[in-house]
Structure 1
Amino acid sequence: MKYVLAAAATALLFAPAALATEISVGYSPDFAQTLEDDYGTREGTYLAKQIENDLMREFASAGLDVERVVVMIERAVPSKPTFKQLGDRPGLDYGDSVSIGGMKLTATAFDADGAEMGSLSYDWFETDIRRTGITTWYDANRASDRFARKFAKKLQAEV
């Protein structure tokens, strides 16, 4: 048993260190007001988590060592009504209400020394109502995924 523990400890020493990237997601003043008035503030938290997960996945996949990323949601439009919108308009039907959604984002990545590694401004909005999804933030999630892939590729090319 003692040898198994020693082998496990040795394996941990030689395992690559986990990439620890600090990602902060904020909102433009206009979008923060839209969250407050129309969509509900919990929707901003959901979008921020989605962006963080997408960036972490893509950075790990690309093997990028990014210390910190600052992301700003400039604009986001849901594909279906949000919980707040449904509460504010009782006649609104979640099942039948569909719109063209998407998101506009800007981001800057920094290395461990605080030097800027790169930045990206990206927006994607669905153009065909027939391709929009069945969840509230379907199109915005697609925009987040595309943004993360594009940002990782850009940073990888600049390294």
Structure 2
Amino acid sequence: MRFLAFAAAALLASASTALAAPATVSVTIGPELQAKAEKTYGVRDVQRLADSLRGEVERRLTKSGAHQDAQIELVLTDAKPNRPTFKQLADTPGLSMESFGIGGAAIEGRLIAADGTVTPLSYRWYESDIRQAYGDWVWSDAEVSFDRFAARLARNDARLAQR
């Protein structure tokens, strides 16, 4: 009898989980960053960065189950690389992949909950210590920014609300 009750509870739990869909995440590139991409960073690099942000947010929200049936619209408004991008290397003779600096990213957007409630979002993080900025990849600090943003979004952290 106890087994039957457990099986029924498990069936109800899986049915309710199946009804909720994971959040839909879209990421666009802000106009100022798009201009930087075309002139300085390279369009392909910045588009890959936007795809990385979308993937990280989707992964964290799927794992946590937060914001199910919500729509999340994000704008990557700024990004600074830790190392020169391929376009920067091609455009500037003598520039080296050994060059490095502090990087990071800024994100804005909104979360539209299943009930229609709209919550504005804003997050920015840039490394402040050059000793910590020596990443292996061009966009290391931007990726850290995405990871921190996605973790806070998955936790419903109120500090993401726009000020």
**TM-score of the pair, normalised by structure 2:** 0.78
Partner of 2:33: 31
1:154 is paired with a residue whose SS is: coil
Partner of 2:121: 120
Amino acid at match of 1:129: I
The change in CA–CA distance for 1:124 and 1:155 in structure 2 (over 3 A counts) is closer
Unmatched runs of 5 consecutive residues or more in structure 2: 1-10, 159-163
Shift of residue 119, structure 1, vs aligned partner: 2.7
Shift of residue 155, structure 1, vs aligned partner: 6.6
Partner of 1:144: 146
Is residue 2:81 matched to residue 1:83?
A: no
Q: Which moved more, 1:18-27 or 1:80-89?
A: 18-27
The change in CA–CA distance for 1:19 and 1:155 in structure 2 (over 3 A counts) is farther
Overall identity of the aligned pairs, in %: 35
Q: Distance in 2 between matches of 1:117 and 1:150?
A: 17
Q: Distance in 1 between matches of 2:63 and 2:120?
A: 19
**TM-score of the pair, normalised by structure 1:** 0.80
Shift of residue 66, structure 1, vs aligned partner: 3.8
Is residue 2:96 matched to residue 1:72?
A: no
How many residues align? The count is 142
Contact 2:22 2:61 in 1 (8 A): no
Partner of 1:3: none
The superposition leaves residues 82-104 of structure 1 with CA deviations (integer Å, 9 ceiling, x where unpaired) of 0111111121111x200100001
Unmatched runs of 5 consecutive residues or more in structure 1: 1-10
Q: Distance in 1 between matches of 2:60 and 2:85?
A: 28
Q: Distance in 1 between matches of 2:33 and 2:144?
A: 19
Q: Distance in 2 between matches of 1:148 and 1:117?
A: 18
Partner of 1:50: 52
Q: Distance in 1 between matches of 2:136 and 2:84?
A: 11
Contact 1:19 1:60 in 2 (8 A): no
- RMSD (CA atoms): 2.1
Partner of 2:3: none
